[in-house]
Amino acid sequence: MRTNLLSLALVFAWWLVACAPLQSSTPTPAEISQQTVTSPATDTPTSVSATHTPTPISQPADGPPSPQATPAPTETFTPLPPTEPPLPTATPRPPTPTLSLSIPAIRLELVVEGFNQPTYLTHAGDESGRLFVVERSGKVRVIQDGELQRDSFMDIDHLVGSRASEQGLLSLAFHPSFRDNRLLFVNYTNTEGDTVIARYQATADRGEVELATANILLTIPQPFANHNGGQLQFGPDGYLYIGTGDGGSANDPLGNGQNINVLLGKMLRLDVDSGDSYTIPADNPFVNNPDARPEIWAFGLRNPWRFSFDRSTGDMYIADVGQNAFEEINHEPAGSGGGFNYGWNIMEGFHCLGRGDCDQTGLILPIAEYSHQQGCSVTGGYVYRGKQFPALNGVYLYADFCSGKIWGLRLGGEPVELSEMPSGVLDTDLTISSFGEDEAGEVYLLSFQGEIYQVVSQ
């Protein structure tokens, strides 16, 4: 009974932090003026190893201290005011595609249960048939032939800070050549509350991770305990993409979303196949802009908890968690060249946030939104490209963490007015923390209560 009550309390705390305006955490103007953000010293497109001086957060750190690498020189600067960011002109994009709501009914089939607050599911691309499930506390567990394996594939709970509801081990990405090089990458918050992107190598039989191979590629200071983003995925171009939240609190008080000189509120794109850490892809959109961080691929994001690539077209779908009123789905066509400004904190979905100005010039508006009458925190999914259920082909599936509703959209078809958006193609009583995809393109759904389901058509 105590365990069930604790699980319910954690779910409620997650909902409060992710979806409600954090008035108690919002700093006063005086506090904002006194804050500084610490960034890596180097911005050049060469091998980078980024460290920082941690910024205090409101929650105490838990667990033993993490092993620390030798600190690199750091540069401290005061963020630009939210109304005066160094804004470039966004790259023009094709017209927003039309959407079709003519999608088949779906249902969920239970695969396995018994997980501790699962946050992500993926595969290794090594033809092993394994599914890897990330748990928020710091473990990665394996489903093999429909059975949950006793031994963990990875356990870094001593490095992970998960006291605040949006912190923890948040995602895992296997290198496209994992079968040969055994490399994988994780995104977690450390015991000081900051975001860490780290690389590890599995054992020769790829049965577990060798923790001694840890290499921290990037550490991003987090001024508040919420809006950590959490997803990382390899794109069809072979580069590693990382979604970062705006740093937290409410309404982006530091103006990070529209400031291209910080890594918060962004989509990052890194080359992890050159050098000991990472290098900057030569075609990143801001690589030659001295006023921008060259790692940035896109900006203007609030909290892109989950994003994914369509394995057929290469298009990117970004589900960005909203503030008080609207949740949104953004779409980036393959070959866009990056540099898109998705609008936060000028816009929330299709709507002005309430600032004095609402200039939408150069902004990329979402392809879909839903209001907080239908939920409170969007959980992005995948475009279905599996073989088992042809009727689902091309449907992008997403859900809401709070209401348990699941939606589906397919690009093409007749234009859809927002008022026509359905209440959901499937109503559940689940707290849906993530979707996942196996090697064959079948799609799975994760319940924060500990179950893994496969999405199937009726």
**Which of 34-48, 50-64, 334-348: highest mean pLDDT?**
334-348
pLDDT grade, residue 419 (50/70/90)? low
Q: What percent of the chain has pLDDT over 70?
A: 77
**Nearest 5°: CA angle at 376, between 107 and 260?**
115
| Number of other CB atoms surrounding residue 306 within 10 Å | 29
Q: Is residue 290 over pLDDT 90?
A: yes
Give how far Cα 150 sits from Cα of 34, 177, 210, Å: 49, 26, 18
Supply the range of the domain harboring residue 435. 56-67+78-457
What is the enclosing helix (H) or strand (E) of 112? strand 106-113
At residue 77, the pLDDT reads: 27
Give the contacts of 5 (CB within 8 A, at least 6 positions apart): none
Whether the CB-CB separation of 315 and 309 falls below 8 Å is answered with yes
Q: What's the CA gap between 413 and 421, in Å, rounded?
A: 14
Whether the CB-CB separation of 219 and 51 falls below 8 Å is answered with yes
Give the contacts of 61 (CB within 8 A, at least 6 positions apart): 161, 163, 191, 192, 193
Flag whether 50 is in a domain.
no
Tens-digit pLDDT profile for residues 379-392 = 999 999 999 999 99
- Supply the pTM of this predicted model: 0.81
Query: How far does the chain reach from its first CA to its final CA, in angstroms?
Result: 36
At residue 413, the pLDDT reads: 72
Whether the CB-CB separation of 133 and 448 falls below 8 Å is answered with no
Q: Is residue 295 over pLDDT 60?
A: yes
The residues pairing with 188 across neighbouring beta strands, listed in sequence order, are 169, 196
E-state strands within 346-404: 347-348, 351-352, 368-371, 378-379, 395-400
- Say which residue, 11 or 77, is predicted with more confidence: 11
**Looking at residue 23, what DSSP letter applies?**
T
Flag whether 18 is in a domain.
no
Flag whether 108 is in a domain.
yes
| Number of other CB atoms surrounding residue 440 within 10 Å | 11
Of 362, 363, 371, the residue nearest 301 (C-alpha): 363
At residue 370, the pLDDT reads: 93
At residue 99, the pLDDT reads: 80
Flag whether 32 is in a domain.
no
Flag whether 433 is in a domain.
yes
How many distinct structural domains can be found in the chain?
1
Of 75, 79, 76, 83, the residue nearest 33 (C-alpha): 79
Of 173, 241, 240, 186, the residue nearest 213 (C-alpha): 186
Least confident window among 48-62, 127-141, 182-196, 311-325: 48-62
Whether the CB-CB separation of 134 and 140 falls below 8 Å is answered with yes
The residues pairing with 299 across neighbouring beta strands, listed in sequence order, are 266, 341
Q: What's the CA gap between 171 and 198, in Å, rounded?
A: 11
Mean pLDDT of 399-427: 84
What tokens does 32 get? 């904002």
Flag whether 51 is in a domain.
no
Whether the CB-CB separation of 397 and 406 falls below 8 Å is answered with yes
At residue 418, the pLDDT reads: 67
CATH number at residue 283: 2.120.10.30
Q: Is residue 166 over pLDDT 80?
A: yes
pLDDT grade, residue 24 (50/70/90)? very low
Tens-digit pLDDT profile for residues 140-163 = 999 999 999 999 999 999 999 988
Flag whether 277 is in a domain.
yes
Mean pLDDT of 339-353: 95
What tokens does 417 get? 């007015």
At residue 252, the pLDDT reads: 96
Of 430, 425, 426, 429, the residue nearest 447 (C-alpha): 430
Mean pLDDT of 202-213: 98
What tokens does 312 get? 């057929």
Q: What's the CA gap between 129 and 112, in Å, rounded?
A: 15
Residue 218, Ramachandran bin (φ over 0: left; ψ between -120 and 50: alpha; else beta) = beta
E-state strands within 221-344: 232-234, 240-243, 266-270, 296-299, 306-309, 316-320, 326-332
Mean pLDDT of 224-229: 95
Flag whether 34 is in a domain.
no
432, with CB counted inside 10 A (0-12, 13-18, 19+), is buried
Mean pLDDT of 402-410: 95
Q: Is residue 410 over pLDDT 80?
A: yes
Give how far Cα 37 sits from Cα of 56, 162, 259, 300, Å: 11, 22, 12, 18
Mean pLDDT of 265-286: 96
